[in-house]
Amino acid sequence: MLCCVLCRDVRQRIQQRIAQAFGISSASMYLTKPTFFSRINNTEAKTTHDEYWHPHVDKVTYGSFDYTSLLYLSDYTEDFGGGRFIFMDAGSNKTIEPRAGRVSFFTSGSENLHRVEKVHWGTRYAITISFTCNPDHGIGDPVLMRTRGSRGVVFAKVCTVSRLLALLQSRRSSRTASPDCGPVLPVKQAPLPQRRASWVSSDLLVPLESNLVWVYQSLTGERSSAGMG
């Protein structure tokens, strides 16, 4: 997991947007674990844990979750096929198509049963950033520890970071002036536990990209991001 790609600025912006959308105080929300980076492709699952496509409730899977958010780092149909996020509502499902810079967030209980479609081609990148209202379950912002693993493990991480950097830089160059575009899925005018929303902001990619450069430098000891950008 590249938890280190979660920088404080991105986390705070998402936390504030969730608080605003759901009418709660951001001070009552605490980052919780697991907060993680995901890279999904069409490789065959080796363990049950790899079978990401099953319907689930985050509060059941991860007991500390009260609010779940997903920051997408790649684009549906452009970088991968399949891999859409599906809320399994009674009567009709609601689907989110990942887009770099899009954030989807929702309450983590049974009101938001969901799944992810299988990825058919390409690679789907995202970061799950989760919050709790219980300070006992809160954690600090992740920090990068210098890797002491095998050369192969370090090389794999460097390749992943390099690909993400190239991806984010290409997206940013084409969306420099893209503002927040408001809710993609309307926030329901219903009791709080049933709410969910989504918004797109290219601004989130800039600090994330900067932090990835730092991750790359820490992993490799180099002062540049492999000439990208």
Active site residues: 124
Determine which helix (DSSP H) or strand (DSSP E) holds 152, and give its type and residue range.
helix 151-174
Q: Going by C-beta distance under 8 Å and a sequence separation of 6 or more, which residues neighbour residue 46?
A: none
Q: DSSP string spanning 4-57?
A: GG--HHHHHHHHHHHHHHHT--GGG-EEEEEEEEEEE-SPPPSSGGG-TTS-B-
Measure the CA–CA gap between 216 and 100, rounded to whole angstroms. Answer: 20
**Amino acid, res. 197:** A
How far does Cα 221 stand from its chain's mean position?
A: 27
On the CB side of 120, CA atoms within 13 Å amount to 7
Compute the chain's Rg from CA coordinates.
Answer: 17
Buried b (16+ CB within 10 A) or exposed e, 190-204: eeeeebbbbbbbbbb
Cα dist from 14 to 2, 6, 71, 200, whole Å: 18, 11, 9, 11
